[in-house]
Amino acid sequence: MKILKPVEAFDKAAKIYQDKFMDVSSFGETFNLFCDHITADNAEILDIACGPGNITKYVLDRKPDYNILGIDLSSKMLELAQINNPTARFELMDCRVMSEMTQKFDGIICGFCLPYLTKEEAIKLIADSSALLKPEGMLYLSTMEDDYSKSGLITSSLGDQVYLYYHQEDYLAKAFRENNFEVIHINRFYSTDKDGAPVTDLVLIGKQNEL
């Protein structure tokens, strides 16, 4: 059994992932809340690890005036994202170097990235997001929640192994506060995996405090 880097796994299974996860309406209330706190017209939004553009599509269906830039490491995912969202822009980029970006955003969404980032990388992503946001900008973050020590290799639906990281509310919320965010919403969604084991998805939404 081969151990793949996340980008290899997503390039290999981009279409399968799209078919399975394109509908993100189960998280709709949290995306709506994120959008409700953005007051700018033609808001500039960054979608981190955008995949096939599933979150971008949900948001644009409700806020077609938004200017969304999606970034991802998988070129195959970006091809699908552009098809699914003709009016959005997409770029091949590693979120771990997004601090090099110069554009400022009214909101940043990171929906499905943290399970592939270490604790240190996740905390850095929050700090980098803070630096890229305009005053009172919004950050949406979701991840699979469990004790970080339970992180490890999982087997994908195609039989490959990928390292998956679980994250915890305590250090994520602390990173929000330390990077000038007020945490305005925390939510959890409960489901089961393919083997029937419980899964918890954690969502945090933060707003930049005025400097």
Structural domain boundaries in the chain: 6-208
Q: Is the pLDDT of residue 160 over 90?
A: no
Across residues 57-67, what is the average pLDDT? 98
Q: Is the pLDDT of residue 115 over 60?
A: yes
Instruction: State the pairing for strand pair 152-155/161-164.
Output: antiparallel
Q: What are the residues whose beta carbons fall under 8 Å from the beta carbon of 98, sequence distance 6 or more?
A: 46, 48, 71, 125, 128, 132
Mean confidence (pLDDT) of the chain? 92
Q: Please tell me the predicted confidence (pLDDT) of residue 22.
A: 83
The angle subtended at Cα 197 by Cα 192 and Cα 203, nearest 5°, is 50
Q: Which residue has the higher pLDDT, 169 or 194?
A: 169
- Is residue 141 within 8 Å of residue 204, measured between CB atoms? yes
pTM: 0.93
Across residues 12-38, what is the average pLDDT? 87
Longest Cα–Cα distance of the chain, Å, equals: 51
Q: Which of 109, 112, 95, 122 is nearest to 22 (CA)?
A: 112
- Domain 6-208 matching CATH 3.40.50.150: the answer reads yes
User: Percentage of the chain with pLDDT > 70?
Assistant: 91
Q: Which residue has the higher pLDDT, 56 or 194?
A: 56
Q: Work out the pLDDT band at 20, boundaries 50, 70, 90.
A: confident
Across residues 169-174, what is the average pLDDT? 99
Tell me which amino acid residue 119 is.
Answer: K
Q: Work out the pLDDT band at 11, boundaries 50, 70, 90.
A: low
Instruction: Please give the full DSSP string across 75-130, using - where no structure is assigned.
Output: HHHHHHHHHH-TTSEEEE--GGGGGG----EEEEEESS-GGGS-HHHHHHHHHHHH
Q: Which residue has the higher pLDDT, 123 or 195?
A: 123
Q: Is the pLDDT of residue 158 over 80?
A: no
Q: Is the pLDDT of residue 157 over 80?
A: no
Tell me which amino acid residue 196 is.
Answer: G
| Chain segment 68-92, per-residue pLDDT in tens | 999 999 999 999 999 999 999 999 9
3-class SS at 81? helix
Q: Please tell me the predicted confidence (pLDDT) of residue 3.
A: 47
